[in-house]
Amino acid sequence: MKILVTDSLAPEGLAVFQNAAGFQVDVKIGLKPDELKKICADYDGWVIRSGTKITAELIDAAKNLKVIGRAGVGYENIDADAATKRGIVVMNTPGGNNVTTGEHTIALMMAMARHIPQAVASLKSGKWERNKFVGVELCNKTIGVIGLGNVGRIVAERASGLKMKVLGFDPFIAPDNIARMGVEPGSLDEIFAKADFITVHVPLTPETQGLINKAAFAKMKSGVRIINCARGGIVDEQDLADAIKEGKVAGAALDVYVDEPPAADHPLVKLDQVITTPHLGASTDEAQLNVAIAVAEQMIDFLAQGVVRYAVNVPSVSPELLQVLRPYLTLAEKLGSLHAQMAGALPKEVQVEYRGDVTQYNVAPLTLAVLKGLLSAVMESAVNYVNAPLVAKERGIKIVESKGEGVGDFASSIVVRAKNGKENLEVEGAIFGAKHPRIVRVNDFYLEAVPEGYILVLQNRDVPGVVGAVGTILGNNGINIAGMELGRSEKGGNAISFTHVDEVVPRKAIDELLALPQIVSAELVKL
């Protein structure tokens, strides 16, 4: 596996690649886009930080690329949509710089409260302006922490240690859980109304774009101070500048901007009430080391074992969970493929139901496997775990995932059902032993079929002589039968058989089978 590194990476991270069997790492820093375009086709993995911008054009040129690793949290410099369409996993390292970013937030807050950068600049210019830089204490002040993920929790913890009152808001965490962090849960409006300091620790999304804006400032107490070490754009920069000039906001501490570096005439940079740093939230020796090692280990695990951790465009699967889910992943993909081939067309809606013990796990990867199998069976273009949801969406396929209450006849099973133009089709699979996938039901027919290789799926009337007639036709056409599984709804009713064959059954033989009066349908599938 060949790895391309185009931004500075700690030597310890490079050593992880170099010491991994079967991996070659090339470091090429400072190349222009046209130069990158010429060399990127040969690489399986691409490691960047914030300096390299991986565009759709570069992704298209990187013909062999399987994974992009961002040594850090933000991935705005990666066209993740283009990567997803190509089936390329995009990973980041969210845990490597949590402490560093949290500490930087606290450092900026303290520096802002005591006007430290302004006082330093004044003193170095030859002045002694003690009265000009009178600050405020943090003790007994209220800090509003918006977003209580890894970084937000660290900020809340450190602020509590400074004897501040901490209000927290996170729509994805229950108020009881927020309280257990030692943080008082509150709404956004409560934070706006009560907080002396407000800090944001949320991702930049359509929902958080401009979260702190003119309307929000209007709800805040006069003299509030704003900190943003998350992402530029969460705080509306022009609205913040206006609020500072109006005296509503006493100060701001910023590490990030919408456009970096900000323009010389940026409305915030020149304001005396604003202290600012050039995106240093993750810039410590410890953080650089942590993210370098983390991204290398994650990419190796993915390329060598299929383990997905901290991917931004596909559900992550830890090594421990992968070990448990691996046979189910195989089963799920086979069920999707079987369904598509038997139906002969893509459905408008696919329902995936999980029953029994498997419901205790995160089943999102299994649903992806069903989609991959379903789409791969009928499409010429490559479909994988990354782009399967996008491909399904483009074709108007709705995915419904559920967990059944009953266990049925098996400890765990997966049911795939969908309606196409012809009929409803429902297939069920289970794991026999610890790792052996089996097809156990097709509609009302129960059987135990191994989902491997070429399989002739026959539906017939349950009358004597069918098996012999099928064997004769296949034999006359030079087709060897490797195995057969049978199932029927009731004696003398309808039946189904999965006949395993060593090679493709020719159309001529299938037509002969369909000509038999007892044969209802005949389809060759490949699993």
- Residue among 260, 286, 349, 503 flagged as catalytic: 260
Q: Which residue has the tokens 């900026």?
A: 108
Cβ-count burial of 218 within 10 angstroms (0-12 exposed, 13-18 middle, 19+ buried)?
exposed
- Residue among 115, 231, 355, 500 flagged as catalytic: 231
Provide the β-strand partners of residue 445.
Answer: 442
Contact 420, 343 (CB under 8 A): yes
The continuous run of DSSP H or E covering 297 comes out as: helix 285-305
Tokens of 523: 């389809």
Which residue from 296, 429, 283, 420 is spatially nearest to 369, judged by alpha carbons?
429
Q: How far is CA 465 from the centre of its chain?
A: 53
Give catalytic status of residue 246 as yes or no. Answer: no
Give the dihedral sign, CA 102/104/105/106: positive
Give catalytic status of residue 70 as yes or no. Answer: no
Tokens of 405: 């209450």
Tokens of 520: 């209802």
Q: Which residue has the tokens 């369909």?
A: 514
Which residue from 232, 217, 221 is spatially nearest to 268, judged by alpha carbons?
232
Contact 6, 48 (CB under 8 A): yes
State the Cα–Cα distance between residues 41 and 27, nearest whole angstrom. Answer: 15
Which residue from 521, 463, 525 is spatially nearest to 492, judged by alpha carbons?
463
Tokens of 254: 């910023």
Contact 459, 520 (CB under 8 A): yes
State the Cα–Cα distance between residues 352 and 332, nearest whole angstrom. Answer: 9
Contact 420, 345 (CB under 8 A): yes
- By DSSP bridging, strand 197-200 and strand 67-70 are unpaired
- The answer for residues whose C-beta is within 8 angstroms of residue 48's C-beta and 6 or more apart is 5, 6, 7, 54, 68, 69, 70, 71, 77, 78
DSSP class per residue in 459-500: EEE--TTHHHHHHHHHHHTTPPEEEEEEEESSTTSEEEEEEE
Contact 95, 153 (CB under 8 A): no
For residue 171, say if its preceding peptide bond is cis, omega within 30 degrees of 0.
Answer: no
Give the CA dihedral 354, 359, 361, 365, nearest 10 degrees: 10
The phi, psi pair for 432, rounded to 5°, reads -95, 135
- By DSSP bridging, strand 2-5 and strand 24-27 are parallel
Residue spans of alpha helices (H) in 5-88:
11-19, 33-39, 56-61, 80-85
The phi, psi pair for 512, rounded to 5°, reads -65, -40
Give catalytic status of residue 279 as yes or no. Answer: yes
Would you name the residues annotated as active-site residues? 231, 260, 279
